[in-house]
Chain A
């Protein structure tokens, strides 16, 4: 992994939703944030505080109304939609509370899903190593429906890491897990950060340990 100063840099990001027939909702207000390689930051906040919007914006899925988002030095919203998708495939991994595994693919195929966007050499071997590392080797042929919630989240985590991204954005990854399951997932994320990756984790759980804990309140990011 190339050593650079910032993996993620948000500068003055503002995002306002304009629901039809209802007043505008400011989800992010002048948010600035940096995340270095090896960084593990947690954004806490109540439901509707703008955590998901922050991660989607940081991940290149939701263009801000104002401000910029740089990932490894690239202003990702200057890219076309297709170029941004390709960039995401190589640089960013996502983990969601609902896992979003593809129901008709088995575990190995779900982990390999990012190769639909960017095929790479030895993808299968790498997927197998990740599955093994996440303790799911015995489930490799199983469909997601046969896995526990903790196992499903580990599969989602393995999928996010397949292409060795620089940044993992995790939206409430432990929201549906018990304590043990949550701890396993967080351990893997910390391990990823220790190996030089950057993690931005959104959660309402204030007990999650991190390098830095931030709070999002009504779209405003506050440092704790």
Chain B
């Protein structure tokens, strides 16, 4: 028995055999039908793939922009922090009775407040200030050298304990202090003082009857700092007779909250009621604000990108929401007329099949089965073509894993269902028409 005969089977001829033979016999018409279904499904699958790829790409682009912005902001923040630190303290906390005119004329504060104030600030949960530096400053003459200096006693920076990220692991000191404490038995000299006295780091000098080692000589600053001499706070308090007192707390405005001075004052006053706050480095503030503006601009750019891609996605969705029904309808009509044509072409066959006892429902089944075959094969071709074109349109390389991931089993299943439903609906009327044909009419007319 030949393979072809074997298909006929022992029980006889089946509907599927009839459908298969007929498809082979009328290949061009079937191919046209396939093309029609494939175009409809390709449009559907392509549109879904394109929209999905667009959304994925949007997420990737936004994630990338977010990452870039975050890195840029981190970089700016680090730069800012470094700049701030390099520029030194930019806020000064003084006693409320301190005259600013006296401050300007003397070059240092002359109203005093308790040393504890700095510790109250440090432990009071302040958020807007950091790197607190209590000082006791007073203009004196270097005994025996007839040199006017500003004596500057400080214990070094007092840690703001809850800002742990700036502190050493044990929380007792800053990792990168703006000003280091003057080691015991040492002095730091302003540039002019060192020049006048002919001193340099490592030299020994006598002040107020005590001998000190010169720990560091600062670079020229062009301001009062050039005539300053730094020593421990306790020494200054002892020499100036200001035990337990300071006359200023220098601080660094916290970069996490660069804002109006009012906010700092308000927060400081929440802890210390009888002080005033001065901000004296507008360059730093300007830099901080520029950084904020840059961040805001970056955020706006991301939002604009999101908006643009959303609008593009909406436009594509709107287009496909019109295109898909139109293509499905056109394809449905095309399939309808193809199957109707097929019914007309096969009238003689329908007549003889009815004459030999094939029931109306089986005649309808023959046409519906053919429509189903058309749907399944057309869906498979259309799906692969649609996804490939959709992915290519979305700029996905056919050699990439992303391309492989574009083939979604659920979408394939949906394509199959849509195609079979399309063919079934389009083929239903012609199939009924075929099954209801009066065989007597056909046979008499032939």
Binding site for B on A (CB under 8 A): 52-53, 56, 59, 61-62, 81-82, 85-90, 92-94, 96, 98, 100, 102-106, 108-109, 112-125, 140-141, 159-160
Contact = CB atoms under 8 A, between A and B. Distances in A.
Given A61-B443, A140-B5, 4 more contacts: A61-B354, A109-B8, A112-B12, A115-B11
B357 A86 contact: yes
B361 A115 contact: no
Interface centre among B10, B349, B356, B358 (most CB of A within 10 A): B356
A58 B330 CA distance: 45
Contacts of B446: 96, 98, 100
Contact of A116 (B5, B12, B25): B12
Nearest to B439: A61
A124 B362 CA distance: 21
B359 interface: yes
Size category, B interface: 35 or more
A121 B13 contact: no
A115 B443 contact: no
Interface of B is mostly: helix
A125 B8 CA distance: 11
B405 interface: no
A76 to B, nearest CB: 12
Contacts of B5: 106, 108, 124, 140-141
A100 B26 CA distance: 18
A124 B2 contact: no
Contact of A88 (B13, B356, B443): B356
Interface in B41-69: none
A102 B24 CA distance: 13
B360 interface: yes
A92 B356 CA distance: 8
Contacts of A103: 25, 349
Interface string B6-49: 00111111110110011011100000000000000000000000
A158 to B, nearest CB: 12
Given A109-B21, A115-B11, A119-B12, A85 B354 contact: yes
B444 interface: yes
B358 to A, nearest CB: 4
Given A100-B352, A100-B446, A82 B359 contact: yes
B302 interface: no
Given A52-B443, A56-B444, A116 B353 contact: yes
B104 interface: no
28 contacts: A52-B444, A53-B444, A56-B440, A61-B354, A81-B360, A85-B357, A94-B356, A100-B352, A102-B349, A102-B353, A105-B13, A105-B18, A106-B4, A108-B8, A109-B21, A113-B352, A114-B357, A115-B11, A115-B12, A116-B356, A116-B362, A117-B358, A120-B11, A121-B10, A121-B11, A125-B10, A141-B5, A159-B356
Contacts of B326: none
B351 interface: yes
Contacts of B14: 116
Given A56-B444, A108-B5, A141-B5, A118 B10 contact: no
Nearest to A171: B443
Given A96-B443, A109-B21, A119 B356 contact: no
A103 B25 CA distance: 8
Question: Which 4 A-B residue pairs are closest in the complex by CB-CB distance?
Answer: A115-B12, A89-B357, A104-B25, A117-B357
B440 A117 contact: no
Interface centre among B18, B351, B352 (most CB of A within 10 A): B352
